[in-house]
Amino acid sequence: MGGRGTFAAGNSVDYTYKTVGYIEDVKVLEGINGKHSLPESSHSSNAYIKLKPDGTFHEMRIYDENHTLIMEIAYHPEKPLTGNGQTPVLHYHLYDERFSKNKTGAYGRTRADYLTDEMKKRYRKYFKGVTNHG
């Protein structure tokens, strides 16, 4: 997959992610050459997953029909939710231009919030190695 899963000015972009597996029907990506986060847009998938080095779920990004990032579910410390920077917690952020701080049309994200019961039920199968789903 290219830089953001697209082409730059009609030219192919060097691959910055590789598919290292699947959880259910979702590609598990790993960054190449120091790339750590998941793509801001998708090439062809509706979602991607990133795992921690020990194989535990770290993050899942979900994209709309235009391949634009709309939601991120993550499992890592989120101080506003846990009161400390140590305890990992399942949480989510929504992405939309309405949440942009600079109002340039760039997408911003909401503050972290706990997963709803519906989200837990729908996405639980992807939370590999996470024992506490909240």
> pTM, whole model, 2 decimals?
0.81
User: What was the pLDDT predicted at 99?
Assistant: 55
DSSP letters of 17-81? Answer: EEEEEEETTEEEEEESTT--SPPSB-SS-SEEEEE-TTS-EEEEEEE-TTSBEEEEEEEEE-HHH
Mean pLDDT computed over 32-48:
84
Q: Picking from 71-75, 118-122, 130-134, which range would have the lowest pLDDT averaged per residue?
A: 130-134
pLDDT tens for 100-126 read 555 545 567 888 999 999 999 999 999
pLDDT tens for 83-93 read 888 889 999 99
